[in-house]
Amino acid sequence: MRKIKIIVSGGGTGGHIFPAISIANALKAKQDDIEILFVGADGKMEMEKVPAAGYKIIGLPIRGLQRNFNKENLKFFSRLFRSLRKAKKIIKEFKPDAVVGVGGYASGPLLHAANKMGIPSLIQEQNSYAGITNKLLAKKADKICVAYQGMERFFPADKILMTGNPVRKDLIQLENLRAEAQFFFNLNPNKKTLLVIGGSLGARTINHSIIENIEDFKDKPIQVIWQSGKFYHQEMKEKLAKANIDNVQVSDFLTRMDLAYAASDLVISRAGAGTISELCMVKKACILVPSPNVSEDHQTKNAMALVHQDAAMMIPDIEAKERLVKEALLLLDNDSELEKLEKNIALLAKPNAADEIADEILKMIKQ
């Protein structure tokens, strides 16, 4: 019997890549005789992350249009044409039974070519505000898996499936890890813990909001685990050392996010779709500071989807330096509010998202 073959396409950011890998892993777990090929964009992080996860990837020369005028924009149409031609060649040679698009530049040419060739396709949209690539592909897609209510604003309602966003398996059961986490980070079990995260590169506003108000943490009965990101780490480390505050620990990268979440009572974070799905999964009260540097301001829309359900607090980026640390300290001192946020965010968790999406892909092939 012929092997089932599937192409997973997209990337550009961790928010697209990690769900894609989770879906591929779920497919592998369900079906031994399956071959999965990834298609990404040359020079983007998927070209490194996907092989590290054990999958083959082919790159397309596609690039996005820059928002301000840039010489690179002049090459957009020639790159798009070459990407469409290469996508068609990949499909002809690999002969997939289905294609999956997770958003990002590469999924556009690949799914467009697949749709023209009559191959079933599924889109996974992570955000509460659909990306332009997925909006363009939705008309021809067979199924569209989403993580937020109200997505019929962007997609045909009869194609939408509410699955949630896939998250890492190591975040699904954290209840019994708190003692281990406190030991790992050398924390006092009698004090509350604030976790500050801004992605692997770091979030400038969050970092500066913390360091410019660092004196507010002095002599408070709390402790802080702070991931500054590698770009800002040296500067933040030096400023923290000068401030001489011993209840704040800063690192460029947290190798054990499961333990960081398990130790925390409150999380400060950006509002990317993947991070929000993780926060729902680990049931943590959070203050979200949406990045203003993203297309269609989708992080604010992601955050507001939680705020409307009393499942998170949100502070706009422009107000963070003045408000973020003050609000975090007030919230850490308010047990009933922390409990309410934890309870409400837990209701939004979708622990089986990757499995449900994998089931839909296999069902689509059989039909």
Q: What angle do CA 342, 18, 364 make, to 5 degrees?
A: 100
User: Is 168 known as a binding-site position?
Assistant: yes
Extract long-range pairs of 90-97: CB within 8 Å, 24+ residues apart. 90/7, 90/37, 90/39, 90/58, 91/7, 91/117, 91/119, 94/5, 94/7, 94/37, 95/5, 96/5, 96/6, 96/7, 96/37, 97/4, 97/5, 97/6, 97/365
CA separation for the pair 316, 321 (Å, rounded):
10
Is 198 part of any known ligand binding site? Answer: no
Residue type, 316: P
Question: Would the annotation count 127 as a binding residue?
Answer: yes
- Tokens 């191959």 label which residue? 119
The response to whether 302 counts as a known ligand-binding position is no
Judge whether 15 is annotated as a binding position.
yes
Single-letter code of the amino acid located at 89: K
C-alpha to C-alpha distances, 149 to 308, 310, 359, nearest whole angstrom:
12, 15, 21
| 336 annotated ligand binder | no
Task: Name the amino acid, one letter, at 355.
Answer: D
Binding residues: 13-15, 127, 168, 200, 299
Binding residues for UDP-N-acetyl-alpha-D-glucosamine: 13-15, 127, 168, 200, 299
